[in-house]
Amino acid sequence: MAVVAPASDKPAPIRRRSRLSETWLYLRQSKSGMLGLTILVFHILIALSSPLIVPFDPTDIDASLKNQSPSGEHLFGTDQFGRDVFTRVLLGGRIALVITLTATVIAVTWGGTLGILLGFLGGRIDEAVMRVVDALLAAPYILFLLLIVSSLGSSNRVLIFTLGFFYGIAVVRVARAATLDFVARDFITAARARGERRMTIVLRELLPNVMDILLVEFAMRWSWMLLAFSSLSFLGFGVSPPTPDWGLMIAESRKALQFAPWTAIFPMIALGTLVIGINLAADAVAKALGLDRTQGAPV
Amino acid sequence: MNEPFVEVNDLTIGYRNRQGQIVNVLRGVSLVMPRGGALGLVGESGSGKSTLGMALLGHLRAGSQVQAGTVRFEGVDPFALNPAELQALRGGRIALIPQNAAESLTPTMRVGDQIVEVLQFNRILVGAEARDLALELLGQVRLPQPEAMFTRYPHELSGGQQQRVAVAKALAGEPELLVLDEPTTGLDVTTQAHLLDLLAEIVAQMGTAMLYISHDLGVIARVSDRVAVMYAGEIVEVAAVTDIFARPTHPYTRGLLASIPRLTQAGIPKAMPGQPPTPGEHGTGCSFTPRCTFADGTCETVAPTLDAAAQPGQLVRCHHWQTVAKIEFSQELQQAFHKAVRKVEPEPAVELAGVEIAYTRQGLIQRLRGLPEPPATVSDITLTVHKGETLALVGESGSGKTTIVRTIAGLMLPRMGSLKFKDYDLNVGVDRRPLELRQQIQLIFQNPDASLNPRHTVAEILDQPLRLYFNLSRSERRERSIELLERVRLGPHYRLRYPGQLSGGEKQRVAIARAFAAEPQLVLCDEVTSALDVSVQAAVLDLLAELQAEHGVTYIFIAHDLALVHAFADRVAVLYQGRLCEVGSTDEIYTPPHHPYTETLLAAAPRPVPGLRPHLLGSDVPELAPPPRGCPFQRRCPRRIGSICDEEAPPWRVPVEGHRIRCHIPLDELETAQVSAAEHVIPLEPLSNSVSSN
């Protein structure tokens, strides 16, 4: 029998590094990703600490102070009821963040799992479910949202599950399309030939490969949902006044745009930066989780 | 003109990697080509051969730069031309025939129009004249019915026909130099033989020079008159084709030639140790040092230069070429082959009887209308594989090899017939098979890039079968995976790597380790070495043979390379259009009488022996569906005897027990005709006389 030399002469040192820290290492190389992450962390920190640091009571009405421009005392000015805008901006993201984040997690989890499963199973089930998905996508979901919220009330639980359901529909499509890229590969055939269970194939073989796409999807859905939540508040179905909320604030002060623009601009900036931050961070995380990780080796 | 036709001088091409260092893909390459010459460029993947070919066209991969040296085509530097001049050069004076014609032809344009476009672009031929010339070109590349071909779209043509169109398109500009980048890789052997024959003829007729890039030494031997061998971005040896194959003087050339399986030799060729360096990885000395048996201290520190060697026109880059040249190469080659030791037991492992497999099932309406059932993809397969044996399934693409293997694995269901593995019934899908049966049958795939999950580390990959089939604790699985990695000669440090960080050979070893983690009885190997470099291929075969000897497993081995089958298999089943043509032991298959289809395949297989012209049999037009009646090979058979072939299914003829040929021609006639044909056309290789086939 021929003597075959070991395939590699010098063994590389074993470096024990968990996946998380490895991803972090790649993430740190991305400037836009770090910027997005900083913005995101900043927003979260404010949301967590704002009740303790705000200078005024957000619901304190003082007619004598209405529509004052930004000053040393009221950094962002005051609104039509004389409430401190700075205080209300700091507090206005709390409810929106909690509700949309939970709803996005729900949306991506069910949409992603169903999408991968459909892509893997194919055939008639796939065909049938996808037609339902198409029908739901074709209808303007904001109408559904309004319908459900107006009939069931706008409690946080109702909002989370309605948003979570409707935003998951688009995720099904994306996850299924991404999965179709991989189902025909030999490693899936290998898993099937081994006799792995379907759920094992979906979760262990397919999920890691579509994870980066799902993450981008997560960011997209989250930022869209933040806007949708604000629209709901704007339309009067989300948070009820006088609770501070960005969407509600923008809605209430749109009439004051001409003479007291600060009442709308500051919540807009807050909402805008959060959405941008989410997108930048998620893009970078997806890339860091992506195939770049194989140290630039051709894949 | 005093300028040489093509002159490449000290060319270095590199790119900047992420760390900002320059990585050279080509390092100081110099070569000269005369007008009308045919230079073969051989090397393994990553050796820089395609980069060199593209540099002649003035093309660099994105991010690459010429670091030093010059390229001159009749005194013109393609890198100094402006875009308009470069356009005139490419496609006009130099044409490229790429590897994958399917990708190089525009899918939305009729093939005729694509040729007309080239003609109009280069020579301002318009209208009917251009069309006539395009038709002539289509005829010249021997496409049947040029008129009909003219109006087809690329997807309506077979792979071989597409490649012919690519040739016609390249010839349209009447180029002086053709750069061919692996134009026949991925084609069937018979198609390849026809295309090579066509190229040789056209080039001789038109006086076009050829730079033929390939990793396949058999193809190189057939088309080139000089050969340059590349290793790690350098030319390590250049010589006339006969000298390269008979008197190689560089240890790498020798190793490469010794590592390819040969049609005339049974047994596994000698594996070259190690693997080629990745670009930028080589040290100061000779880049082949780590794999070289002649290497000493000088080789590690001093880089050798390309010096004149013994034969006229032979250049070699080695400090010790004189020592190497003293060893007679034919002697060395004889010792290179070794038979794998295995014990075949008389009890059958896999039994197939009258198996028929179809992809499409007739719909209700078709059945009600009484339409005849279309012929099945695979039909009438009766085969027995014994325990511990290696059975090779051989045939061109579309012959049903993979279909049969997938059915055995339970990924498809047969329409008729019975499949048995030991006492288990295989007529059920993998979902319904008991766990111990699934564990005993394992698959290894052709391309490890696709068969290993890119997001799993090697440890996770090996964990899956261990977790599924055996009730092992975490630490036991860890221990077992280290054992398995060591068994396939990868160290435990490979556990934490991703497939993207491994070379092709290493990936395939991981795939083998995964299959053997299940402790299988039957391993189905689907073209397991065809995605690997030649120098690594033999090592993988050795590994498979060792594992077989250790565990007594049975292999069903799919291959299209007949030389490889001769190296590795005990018995061979030849398939055409999903029907068996011939079954027998390796020795029986490779000596007459053959089935006419086996004969065709053997004749078309490229061999690393210059001066051999294959005798081409039949046509290379592939068939899409098997004929409904008669012999499946009737339409392409070179020994067709008449209407009996179309009407009646041929009988099985049995020359000796265990060898069956399905043909209407009596055996003695077949044998006489084939022996004389072989004597006429293929000169016997010197080796086949001196070494017994056992």
pLDDT tens digits, one per residue of B211-264: 999 988 989 998 899 999 999 889 999 999 999 998 999 999 999 999 888 888
Chain A residues within an 8 Å CB radius of B341: 1
**Distance (Å, rounded) from C-alpha B423 to C-alpha A85?**
81
**Distance (Å, rounded) from C-alpha B26 to C-alpha B226?**
20
pLDDT classification of B334: cutoffs 50, 70, 90: confident
Domain B348-572 falls in which CATH fold? Rossmann fold (3.40.50)
Q: What is the pLDDT of residue A9?
A: 40
Phi-psi label, residue B552: left if phi above 0, alpha if psi -120 to 50, beta otherwise:
left
Q: What is the pLDDT of residue A76?
A: 78
Q: What is the pLDDT of residue B180?
A: 92
Residue B182, CA distances (Å) to B94, B209, B277, B655 in order: 17, 16, 22, 40
Q: What is the pLDDT of residue A299?
A: 28
Instruction: Report phi then psi at B652, rounded to 5.
Output: -80, 130
pLDDT classification of B689: cutoffs 50, 70, 90: very low
B267 interfacial to chain A (CB closer than 8 Å): no
pLDDT in tens, A92-102: 888 888 888 99
Nearest CA to A229 among A146, A168, A153?
Answer: A146
What domains are there in chain A, each with its CATH number?
28-50+75-291 (1.10.3720.10)
Q: Which chain A residue has the Cα nearest residue B433?
A: A195
Residue B246, CA distances (Å) to B102, B570, B646 in order: 36, 30, 46
Contacts of B424 by beta carbon, 8 Å cutoff, 6+ apart: B433, B434, B437
Instruction: Give the distance from residue B545's alpha carbon to the nearest chain A alpha carbon, in angstroms.
Output: 9
Nearest CA to B285 among B299, B273, B295, B272?
Answer: B299
**Which residues of A have a CB under 8 Å from any CB of B?**
1-2, 4-9, 11-16, 185-187, 189-196, 204-205, 208-209, 211, 291, 293-299
A294 closest CB neighbour out of B498, B503, B542: B498
Find the Cα–Cα–Cα–Cα dihedral B590, B591, B592, B594, rounded to 10°.
Answer: -20
Q: Which chain A residue has the Cα nearest residue B337?
A: A2
Test A13 with B493 for CB contact under 8 angstroms: yes
B272 interfacial to chain A (CB closer than 8 Å): no
Contacts of B105 by beta carbon, 8 Å cutoff, 6+ apart: B111, B114, B154, B162, B165, B166, B169
Q: What is the pLDDT of residue B679?
A: 62
Residue B165 predicted with pLDDT over 60: yes
Query: What token pair was written down for B291?
Result: 């794999």
Q: What is the pLDDT of residue A18?
A: 56
Q: What is the pLDDT of residue B663?
A: 92
Contacts of A128 by beta carbon, 8 Å cutoff, 6+ apart: none
Residue B623, CA distances (Å) to A259, B574, B596, B619, B639 in order: 80, 17, 17, 11, 18
A4 closest CB neighbour out of B409, B411, B489: B489
Query: What token pair was written down for B429?
Result: 């899908």
Nearest CA to A3 among B329, B512, B489, B483?
Answer: B489
Nearest CA to B402 among A125, A156, A186?
Answer: A186
**Distance (Å, rounded) from C-alpha B366 to C-alpha A82?**
80
**Distance (Å, rounded) from C-alpha B180 to C-alpha B101?**
11
**Distance (Å, rounded) from C-alpha B215 to C-alpha B324?**
23
Task: Tell me how far the alpha carbon of residue A147 is from its chain's centroid.
Answer: 24
Residue B683 predicted with pLDDT over 60: no
User: pLDDT exceeding 90 applies to what percent of chain A?
Assistant: 17
Average pLDDT over residues A248-269: 80
pLDDT classification of B146: cutoffs 50, 70, 90: confident
Instruction: Give the distance from residue A149's alpha carbon to the nearest chain B alpha carbon, in angstroms.
Output: 42
Query: What token pair was written down for B395?
Result: 């045939």
**Distance (Å, rounded) from C-alpha A121 to C-alpha B408?**
22
Test A209 with B454 for CB contact under 8 angstroms: yes
Contacts of B378 by beta carbon, 8 Å cutoff, 6+ apart: B355, B356, B357, B358, B400, B403, B404, B407, B578, B579
Which letter, b or e, does each residue of B606-628 get, where b requires 16 or more Cβ atoms within 10 Å of its Cβ? bbbbbebebbbbbebebbeebbe
B518 interfacial to chain A (CB closer than 8 Å): yes
Report strand pairing: B652-653 vs B660-662: antiparallel
A187 closest CB neighbour out of B17, B450, B539: B450
A169-178, A236-245, B449-458, B685-694, range with the lowest pLDDT: B685-694
Instruction: Give the distance from residue B629's alpha carbon to the nearest chain A alpha carbon, in angstroms.
Output: 34
B45 interfacial to chain A (CB closer than 8 Å): no
A51-55, B78-82, B236-240, B663-667, range with the lowest pLDDT: A51-55
Per residue, what are the HEC states of B375-423?
CCCEEEEEEEEECCCEEEEECCCCCCHHHHHHHHCCCCCCCEEEEEECC
Number of Cβ within 10 Å of residue B509's Cβ equals 26
Q: What is the pLDDT of residue B622?
A: 62
Q: Which chain A residue has the Cα nearest residue B440?
A: A194
Test B271 with A4 for CB contact under 8 angstroms: yes
DSSP string, chain A: ------S-SSPPPP----HHHHHHHHHTT-HHHHHHHHHHHHHHHHHHHHHHH-SS-TT---GGGTTPPP-SSSTT-B-TT--BHHHHHHHTTHHHHHHHHHHHHHHHHHHHHHHHHHHHH-HHHHHHHHHHHHHHHHS-HHHHHHHHHHHH---HHHHHHHHHHHHHHHHHHHHHHHHHHHHTSHHHHHHHHHT--HHHIIIIIIHHHHHHHHHHHHHHHHHHHHHHHHHHHHHTSSSPTTS--HHHHHHHHGGGTTT-THHHHHHHHHHHHHHHHHHHHHHHHHHHHSGGGTTT---
pLDDT in tens, A2-22: 434 344 444 444 444 556 677
Chain B residues within an 8 Å CB radius of A2: 268, 270-271, 338, 538, 542
| Sheet bearing B348-357, strands edge to edge | B378-386, B348-357, B416-421, B424-425
Whether ipTM > 0.90 holds is no
Residue B693 predicted with pLDDT over 50: no
Q: Is B42 helix (H, G, I), strand (E, B) or coil?
A: strand
Q: What is the pLDDT of residue A294?
A: 41
Chain B residues within an 8 Å CB radius of A190: 443, 445, 451, 514
A14 closest CB neighbour out of B410, B493, B498: B493
Chain A residues within an 8 Å CB radius of B506: 7-8
Q: Which chain B residue has the Cα nearest residue A17?
A: B496
Instruction: Give the distance from residue A225's alpha carbon to the nearest chain B alpha carbon, in angstroms.
Output: 30
Query: What token pair was written down for B520?
Result: 């299988």
Query: What token pair was written down for B359?
Result: 């992809």
Test B489 with A14 for CB contact under 8 angstroms: no
Nearest CA to A265 among A82, A47, A85?
Answer: A85
| Sheet bearing B315-316, strands edge to edge | B94-97, B177-181, B209-214, B38-42, B226-231, B234-240, B315-316, B307-308
Query: What token pair was written down for B509?
Result: 């070893």
Number of Cβ within 10 Å of residue B511's Cβ equals 26
For B546, the enclosing helix (H) or strand (E) is: helix B534-551
**Distance (Å, rounded) from C-alpha A149 to C-alpha A168?**
18
DSSP string, B557-592: EEES-HHHHHHH-SEEEEEETTEEEEEEEHHHHHSS
What stretch(es) of chain B map to CATH 3.40.50.300?
348-572
Contacts of B366 by beta carbon, 8 Å cutoff, 6+ apart: none
Number of residue pairs across A and B with CB atoms under 8 Å? 118
B63 interfacial to chain A (CB closer than 8 Å): no
Residue A226 predicted with pLDDT over 90: no
Average pLDDT over residues B636-655: 88
Test B491 with A11 for CB contact under 8 angstroms: yes
Q: What is the pLDDT of residue A26?
A: 76
A4 closest CB neighbour out of B433, B499, B542: B542
The one-letter amino acid at B394: V
A4 closest CB neighbour out of B273, B430, B442: B273
**Distance (Å, rounded) from C-alpha A201 to C-alpha A116?**
10
User: pLDDT exceeding 70 applies to what percent of chain A?
Assistant: 90
Contact B571, B586 (CB under 8 A): yes
Test B464 with A194 for CB contact under 8 angstroms: yes
Mutation target among A10, A187, A197, A201 for the B interface, most CBs of B within 10 A: A187
Residue B183 predicted with pLDDT over 70: yes
pLDDT classification of B4: cutoffs 50, 70, 90: confident
Cα angle, residue B374 at apex, residues B369 and B379 outer, rounded to 5°:
145
Residue B1 predicted with pLDDT over 50: no
